[in-house]
């Protein structure tokens, strides 16, 4: 089985594409079961956030595994394979592990060191485990990755300052208006992103926070937590007419605010300026809304250009985090290779002993009667031949065990000496020919 990762994120695909292939939380279990039903996959985790969609899987055939996942994503997003392929990246073997380590550490996020991704990865892994869709490879990789993410955050200052999409959205509002004090701010949605947005708004001095959600109960709970005011979803137009800033983060599968609606709202506002920040994926606000007079619209991709006062500190912490990742990657490679190397050495020595005994028995039978001293000399010579013959392969294999190619040398030896790879490899192997064929294509 080989670990693979296929996905897209804010760096490879615009929000217009990401929203097509995103999964609503209610869809993820069904998607996982559909992926598990594909014969090319054995073990799968689906990570879907506002800025990335990634499928981690174990597969006996790398090319086939990658192909079926690409087809799955194309079907889900109602896109042609050739259209989605340009936005996808593929990682295999150790590159897949290294990529996950970077993700959990927050080094691959739009906001370096963001705090939500570690929990999101843990939740994705937990969902897979609950459905019994994980295997030894998935467990090993994700348990190591989560430990790495925790270590990075405990040993660096990468998350000592607010780091999230919600925080960056509030920073964008402050940079656009100069200040949020005295502004009426409307939050659409009542989930985790909305709660973080409200938290950062209050910390920035906002004194009027309105919350609107399809569930009035959830809107009230969030509004009460931050001394705000809940707005019935049916009265959203009234709230839009009142607000100076709107930050939208619902889980809706369609546009919540369309041009026709905002045109009526802006007439009611008498074209008074309105800032809309849409951090939802799929987007909540139709892009044509931004063309209306008096409206300034930003979507989640616009947050990439926002620079906050803590950015330099996070970048410095990211350098330290990168060193930790390489250290942890080295440990993982050494650990993984040891799973193959020790059993292979034992099996190789056993094979040498088997051959020695077969040859000795044949030679002694042909020689006929010999004395004890002569037999001892012959046996000693046979032992020396086997020991000297295996010395170099074993020494080189031990040395290779500390490199990223250790498991490949192991399986080469298994093939050359006809050792039983299925018994020797705890995870059923990351084979030589597949690794070699994909090495140059990893991105």
**What are the tens digits of pLDDT across the range 61-100?**
999 999 999 999 999 999 999 999 999 999 998 999 999 9
Distinct helix (H) and strand (E) counts, the chain = 17, 10
Q: Which CATH class is domain 2-155?
A: alpha beta
Whether the predicted pLDDT of 105 surpasses 90 = yes
Return the top range by mean pLDDT from 152-161, 164-173, 219-228.
219-228
Interhelix angle 372-400/406-416, rounded to 10 degrees, is 150
Closest by CA to 108, choosing from 66, 154, 161, 148, is: 148
% of the chain residues with pLDDT over 70: 93
Which pLDDT score is estimated for 208?
Answer: 84
The reply to whether 273 sits in an annotated binding site is: no
For the chain, domain boundaries: 2-155, 165-304, 331-417
Residue-averaged pLDDT of the chain: 88
Mean pLDDT of 399-409: 75
Cβ count within 10 A of residue 11: 13
The reply to whether 190 sits in an annotated binding site is: yes
Q: Which residue has the higher pLDDT, 57 or 160?
A: 57
**What are the tens digits of pLDDT across the range 37-72?**
998 999 999 999 989 999 999 998 999 999 999 999
DSSP H helical ranges for 23-92: 28-36, 62-76, 81-85
**Domain covering 165-304 assigned CATH 3.40.50.1980 in the classification:** no
**Of the listed ranges 215-229, 248-262, 325-339, the one predicted with least confidence:** 325-339
Measured between alpha carbons, how far is 400 from 131 in angstroms, rounded to an integer?
Answer: 37
The reply to whether 387 sits in an annotated binding site is: no
Return all residues near 193 (Cβ < 8 A) that are at least 6 apart: 50, 165, 166, 249, 279, 280
Task: Confirm if 324 and 156 have CB atoms less than 8 A apart.
Answer: yes
The reply to whether 384 sits in an annotated binding site is: no
Which pLDDT score is estimated for 283?
Answer: 94
Mean pLDDT of 235-260: 93
Which pLDDT score is estimated for 162?
Answer: 60
Rg of the chain's alpha carbons, rounded to an integer? 29
Domain 2-155 and domain 165-304, same fold? Reply is no
Residues serving a catalytic function are: 50
**Of the listed ranges 209-223, 344-358, 418-432, the one predicted with least confidence:** 418-432
Q: Which residue has the higher pLDDT, 142 or 202?
A: 142
% of the chain residues with pLDDT over 90: 60
Which pLDDT score is estimated for 404?
Answer: 67
The reply to whether 194 sits in an annotated binding site is: yes
The verdict on pTM exceeding 0.85 is no
The reply to whether 368 sits in an annotated binding site is: no
Q: How confident is the model at residue 103 (pLDDT cuts 50, 70, 90)?
A: very high
The reply to whether 50 sits in an annotated binding site is: yes
Which strands, in side-by-side order, build the sheet including 245-248?
229-232, 208-213, 184-188, 245-248, 274-278, 295-299
**What are the tens digits of pLDDT across the range 266-297?**
999 988 899 999 999 999 999 999 999 999 99
Mean pLDDT of 223-243: 92
50: tokens are: 């506002």
**What are the tens digits of pLDDT across the range 380-392?**
999 999 999 999 9
The reply to whether 114 sits in an annotated binding site is: yes
């Amino acid at each position: 089985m080989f670990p693979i990762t296929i996905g897209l994120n804010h760096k490879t695909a615009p929000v217009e594409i990401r929203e097509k292939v995103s999964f609503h939380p209610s869809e993820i279990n069904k998607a996982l079961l559909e992926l598990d039903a594909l014969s090319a996959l054995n073990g799968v985790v689906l990570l879907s956030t506002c800025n990335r969609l990634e499928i981690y899987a174990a597969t006996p055939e790398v090319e086939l595994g990658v192909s079926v996942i690409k087809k799955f994503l194309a079907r889900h997003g109602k896109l042609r394979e050739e259209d989605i392929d340009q936005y996808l990246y593929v990682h295999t073997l150790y590159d897949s592990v290294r990529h996950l380590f970077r993700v959990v550490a927050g080094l691959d996020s739009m906001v370096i060191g963001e705090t939500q991704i570690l929990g999101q990865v843990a939740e994705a892994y937990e969902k897979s485990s609950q459905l019994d869709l994980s295997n030894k490879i998935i467990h090993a990789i994700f348990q190591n990755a989560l430990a790495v993410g925790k270590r990075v955050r405990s040993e660096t200052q990468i998350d000592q300052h607010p780091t999230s999409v919600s925080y960056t959205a509030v920073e964008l509002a402050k940079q656009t208006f100069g200040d949020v004090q005295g502004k009426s701010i409307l939050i659409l949605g009542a989930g985790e992103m909305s709660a973080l947005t409200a938290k950062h708004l209050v910390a920035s001095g906002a004194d009027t926070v309105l919350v609107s959600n399809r569930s009035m109960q959830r809107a009230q709970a969030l509004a009460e937590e931050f001394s705000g005011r809940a707005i019935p979803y049916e009265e959203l137009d009234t709230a839009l007419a009142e607000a100076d800033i709107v930050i939208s983060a619902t889980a809706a599968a369609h546009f919540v605010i369309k041009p026709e609606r905002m045109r009526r709202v802006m007439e009611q506002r008498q074209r008074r300026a309105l800032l809309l920040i849409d951090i939802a994926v799929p987007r909540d606000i139709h892009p044509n809304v931004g063309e209306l007079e008096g409206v300034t619209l930003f979507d989640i991709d616009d947050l990439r250009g926002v620079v906050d006062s803590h950015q330099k500190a996070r970048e410095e912490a990211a350098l330290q985090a990168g060193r930790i990742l390489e250290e942890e990657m080295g440990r993982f490679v050494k650990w993984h290779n040891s799973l193959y190397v020790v059993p292979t050495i034992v099996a190789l020595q056993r094979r040498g002993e088997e051959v020695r005994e077969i040859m000795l028995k044949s030679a002694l039978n042909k020689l006929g009667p010999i004395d004890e001293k002569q037999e001892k000399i012959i046996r000693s010579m046979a032992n020396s031949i086997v020991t000297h013959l295996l010395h170099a392969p074993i020494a080189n294999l031990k040395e290779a065990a500390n490199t990223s190619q250790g498991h490949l040398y192991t399986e080469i030896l298994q093939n050359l000496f006809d050792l039983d790879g299925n018994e020797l490899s705890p995870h059923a192997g990351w084979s030589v020919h597949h690794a070699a064929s994909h090495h140059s294509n990893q991105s």
